[in-house]
Amino acid sequence: MMSFLFTLISFVVAISILVAIHEYGHYIVAKKLGVKILRFSIGFGKPLWLKRFGKDQTEFVIAALPLGGFVKMLDKRETEVDESEQHREFTSQPVWKRIAIVAAGPIFNFIFAIAAYWLMFIVGVSGIKPIIGEVDANGLAQQAGLVSGYEIIAINNKQTPIWDVAVKNIIPAIVDRSQAVFELKDKNGNKIKRTLDFSQTTGEIKVEYLFEQLGFKPWRPLIEPLVGTVIEKSPAENAGFKVDDKIIAVNQVKVKDWVEVVELVSSKPAEILQVKILRDGVEKTLQVIPEKIERNGEIVGRVGLGHKTGASYPEDMRVTHGYNVFESLPRAFSRTWDFSVLTLKMMGKIFTGEISVKNLSGPVSIARYAGYSASAGVARFLDF
């Protein structure tokens, strides 16, 4: 419950900041150009807070639904305009003024993004080194010669100190169906290059399934399949699972990692599973039927078990990615520009059907990532 509330609050804060910056761009430019502002609103719907300021008594509002905002200007298309205020009416302004007012919102967001990235790079972002884990047989990564244990140093000449950056550097090549040149470091410290060619890939591009398309998984420490929690009245509790049970097999498939358990259970919604466990040194087999739930638009199975925490990344895999004040500014501009271009490309490919509309982050995706970002610290939240 607390996690949900934290995610929700982080989401509202993130959206409100973006909306406020965007609408302030419209507001300040319109005001400087002599247009009368009637209302500046963060959110839609019933006002939760309203205050009037200035000689025009402009209404500043925080509304109930924090999913957008607007600046209401004097407009003869919406209300009757007194002759004495005709010169302050929006549609009566020269074309260049109207263009400036409309463009100010996106421009302010662009400037804010540069400032946020600049601050983020100065503060530094903590993350995990991009080490390649399991490589799929006959996948794109294996065909290119990627090997488990290799560290990704750069992609298309752009440094990749942590996984977040590596992912952001690979997506443009997938979207463009072009080549991605990986600069890698093997376990002996030797540097090599391998090329993943996306030009021959066919079908719909699904960026949400990034690693499935690449043909490898990020390296991570094994999570011992020990039961840490059993949800009350869940299929797992009904089946007799207890805390500290060690899961050793599901439907006769041996498991050594909690993620393997999750994958096996998720793939069998409403099907009978024979789960072999080790309890107090004695092997037992429990029968459980995963309940059906929807996750990311798909029906999967869930039994109501949580793992016992303990697995963590080695300290030498944890790094802080950042730059000094002067290096950060051009990198911030470059990051903002790259993502602006990528967003436009993705929108174009969504219209042509090459990319699933699921790749556009809706409110739910934004909420999840905003919560995760905030919990990871200020710098991560700025990268939201």
Residues annotated as catalytic (active site), given as ranges: 23
CA–CA dist 321, 123 (Å, integer)? 9
Helix 2-32 and helix 95-123: axis angle, to 10°?
Answer: 140
Cβ atoms of residues 158 and 182 within 8 Å: no
Alpha carbon distance 236, 286 (integer Å): 9
| SS3 of residue 230 by DSSP | strand
Positive or negative torsion for Cα 161, 163, 167, 173: positive
Tokens of 145: 């010669």
3-state SS, residue 261: helix
Q: Which positions ≥6 away from 175 have C-beta within 8 Å?
A: 205, 207, 342, 345, 346, 349, 355
Which of 115, 40, 117, 109 has its CA nearest to residue 73? Answer: 40
CB 381 within 8 A of CB 14: yes
> Encoding tokens for residue 251?
């439907």
* Whole-number Å distance between alpha carbons of 286 and 197: 46
Contact 381, 17 (CB under 8 A): no
Strands 151-155 and 158-159, by their bridges, are antiparallel
